[in-house]
């Protein structure tokens, strides 16, 4: 066992681990930045909400559903021209981030929409009765009240992104998942498979623990 671990190319694994972290970090950052406002708009445009606009809601909702229904592997390929445009390359870590963001943003936006729906309607009514504007109600009441649920949504999104990064090998994205497929599966190096999967598991565990800790920290019930 010990000999087996020694015989492995740890430099390769380290590099793949680093690539995974880069893809995850970059994609998560942009997903949160784009998904949060999209989720807030979905919530606000819905029937009976502050900016109720049924047609706009239907349009946004359709866009989100289309992106969510495409398998990620297909998204990777379909988006190559777009990726070239925004990242300058469709390969490697930089080439993987745009499709990861496009794949995860609608997912996160839906979760944010749900988190905001979970806020007691009475809070919005109280804000309106005090003469608050929609912007004030969103920033000063809805987002703080939904913060634990949004953090929990961000955790789920981060973990989903870890899964997506494994497929980035299709476009030469690299990362642990790619390593597991190329060496562990295609070259029958079971020990590489075991180690990479163990590392991915560790990453998911750490993300979940961090997320749970953040949720607890901001829950006041």
Partner 1 sequence: MRSRPTPVIELQDIHKSFPVGTQRVPALRGIDLRIEPGEVFGIIGASGAGKSTLLRVINLLERPDSGRVQVAGADLQGLDEAGLRQARQRIGMIFQHFNLLASKTVAENVAWPLKIAGRPEAEIAPRVAELLARVGLAEQAAKYPAQLSGGQKQRVGIARALATRPQVLLCDEATSALDPETTRGVLDLLAEINTELGLTIVLITHEMDVVRRVCDRVAVLEAGRIVEQGPVADVFLHPREAVTRRFVLEAEHVDEGDQLADYAHVPGRLLRLTFRGERSYEPLLGEVARRTGLDFGILAGRIDRIKREPYGQLTISVSGGDLPAATELLVERGVHVEVLR
Q: How far is the CB of 136 from partner 1 (least distance, A)?
A: 6
Q: Note whether 122 binds partner 1 by CB under 8 A.
A: yes
- The secondary structure of the chain, three-state, reads CHHHHHHCCHHHHHHHHHHHHHHHHHHHHHHHHHHHHHHHHHHHHCCCCCCCCHHHHHHHHHHHHHHHHCCHHHHHHHCHHHHHHHHCCCCHHHHHHHHHHHHHHHHHHHHHHHHHHCCCHHHHHHHHHCCCCHHHHHHHHHHHHHHHHHHHHHHHHHHHHHHHHHHHHHHCCCCHHHHHHHHHHCCCCHHHHHHHHHHHHHHHHHHHHHHHHHHHHCCCC
Q: Note whether 7 binds partner 1 by CB under 8 A.
A: no
Considering only residues 6, 48, 129, 188, which one is a binding residue for partner 1 as defined by CB under 8 A? 129
Considering only residues 33, 52, 130, 201, which one is a binding residue for partner 1 as defined by CB under 8 A? 130
Q: Segment near partner 1 (CB under 8 A), from 62-70, 86-94, 143-151, 198-206?
A: 143-151
Considering only residues 58, 63, 126, 201, which one is a binding residue for partner 1 as defined by CB under 8 A? 126
Considering only residues 128, 198, 201, 202, which one is a binding residue for partner 1 as defined by CB under 8 A? 128
Considering only residues 141, 194, 204, 210, which one is a binding residue for partner 1 as defined by CB under 8 A? 141
Q: Note whether 140 binds partner 1 by CB under 8 A.
A: yes
Considering only residues 10, 82, 185, 218, which one is a binding residue for partner 1 as defined by CB under 8 A? 218
Q: Which residues contribute to the site for partner 1 (CB under 8 A)?
A: 120, 122-123, 125-133, 136, 140-141, 144-145, 147, 218, 220-221
């Amino acid at each position: 066992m010990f000999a087996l671990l020694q015989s492995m190319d740890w430099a390769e694994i380290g590099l793949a681990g680093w690539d995974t972290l880069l893809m995850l970090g970059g994609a998560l950052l942009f997903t949160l930045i784009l998904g949060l406002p999209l989720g807030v708009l979905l919530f606000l445009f819905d029937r009976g909400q502050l900016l109720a606009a049924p047609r706009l809601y239907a349009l946004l909702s359709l866009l989100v559903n289309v992106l969510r229904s495409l398998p990620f592997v297909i998204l990777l390929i379909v988006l190559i021209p777009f990726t070239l445009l925004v990242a300058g390359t469709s390969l490697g870590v930089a080439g993987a981030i745009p499709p990861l963001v496009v794949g995860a943003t609608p997912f996160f936006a839906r979760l944010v929409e749900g988190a905001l729906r979970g806020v007691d309607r009475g809070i919005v009514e109280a804000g309106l009765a005090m003469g608050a504007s929609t912007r004030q109600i969103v920033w000063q009441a809805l987002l703080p009240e939904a913060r634990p649920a949004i953090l929990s949504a961000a955790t789920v999104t981060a973990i989903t992104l870890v899964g997506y990064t494994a497929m980035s090998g299709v476009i030469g994205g690299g990362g642990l998942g790619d390593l597991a497929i190329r060496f562990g599966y295609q070259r029958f190096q079971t020990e590489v498979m075991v180690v990479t999967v163990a590392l991915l598991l560790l990453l998911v565990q750490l993300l979940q623990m961090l997320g749970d800790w953040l949720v607890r920290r901001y829950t006041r019930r």
